[in-house]
Amino acid sequence: MEKFPDIEIDDDNDNGGRRPIIEVETEIEEPPIIAEYVLTEARWKKILKDPEVKKGLAALGRTLANTGVTIADLVPGMGEAVSWSADALKVIGPALKKFGLPNLDITPSVSKKIAFGTEILELQTLGMATTHAVEAFLQFKRQDARLILDALKKIKETLAEEKMRYEENKSEIDQAIKVFSDDQNG
């Protein structure tokens, strides 16, 4: 976008009473170079749309949430509130799903029996035990570790496919790139 030029009149010029010197400053902003950013972003967005990758990301999110709850569980008092809330979501989660809301259960592979059973330890140790660690570990081991690994493999597979496609048509792709690179330089 072009701004109106700032005109500065120099009254103290010593040009013998002739017309004042006018200094004109123009500020023309470069058009934003978004192509690179947008395209790279779009590329990753496409990868992240893959259902397997989506599941892996959800699993990663759950793992991070479970780690957070486990750390919070180290604090007697506050920890119990967080850990019990996570357990409560096991009960509320399926009901939320019926209303079209996301199931917020962060340990779907752990049974209610184990989730609530471990809380007994909290009572016995006056909140000193980090019982959510058990659920977090089981959730990671039973489901999330595999989903994250599958997602990583899928991303790698997608990138490898792209590389393979390039290698199969290397000479013509290189030539096509050159046509527009020369155009840019010229």
Partner 1 sequence: MDKKTALKILIEDSFLFSPILKERLVQNIDSMTDDDISALGKMLAGDKKETLESLEKEIAKLDSIIDKYRETPSASASAI
Residue 36: CB minimum distance to partner 1, A: 6
- Return the number of the residue (60 or 88) whose C-beta is nearest partner 1: 60
Shortest spacing between CB 135 and partner 1, in angstroms: 13
Residues within the interface to partner 1 (CB under 8 A): 35-36, 39-40, 42-43, 46, 137, 140-143, 145-146, 148-149, 152-153, 155-156, 159-160, 162-163, 165-166, 169, 172-173, 175-177, 179-181, 183-184
Least Å from the CB of residue 151 to partner 1: 10
> Closer to partner 1 at the Cβ: 99 or 180?
180
What's the closest the beta carbon of residue 83 comes to partner 1, in angstroms?
Answer: 20
For partner 1, the closer of residues 85 and 111 by Cβ is 111
Distance of CA 158 to the CA centre of its chain: 18
Name residues whose C-beta falls within 8 Å of residue 59's C-beta, 6 or more positions apart in sequence: 143, 144, 145, 147, 148, 151
In whole angstroms, what is the distance from residue 128 CA to residue 105 CA?
A: 24
Within the chain, strands assigned E span 6-10, 21-25
In the bound state with partner 1, the residue whose beta carbon lies nearer, of 30 and 172, is 172
The radius of gyration of the chain's CA atoms, rounded to the nearest angstrom, is 30
**Closest to 151 in 3D by CA, of 34, 52, 69:** 52
Is 103 within 8 Å of 94 (Cβ atoms)?
A: yes
* Residue 6 main-chain phi, psi, to 5 deg: -85, 120
Instruction: State which residue, 17 or 186, has the beta carbon closest to partner 1.
Output: 186
Residue 23 and residue 11: Cα distance in Å, rounded? 11
**Minimum Å distance from CB 86 to partner 1?**
19
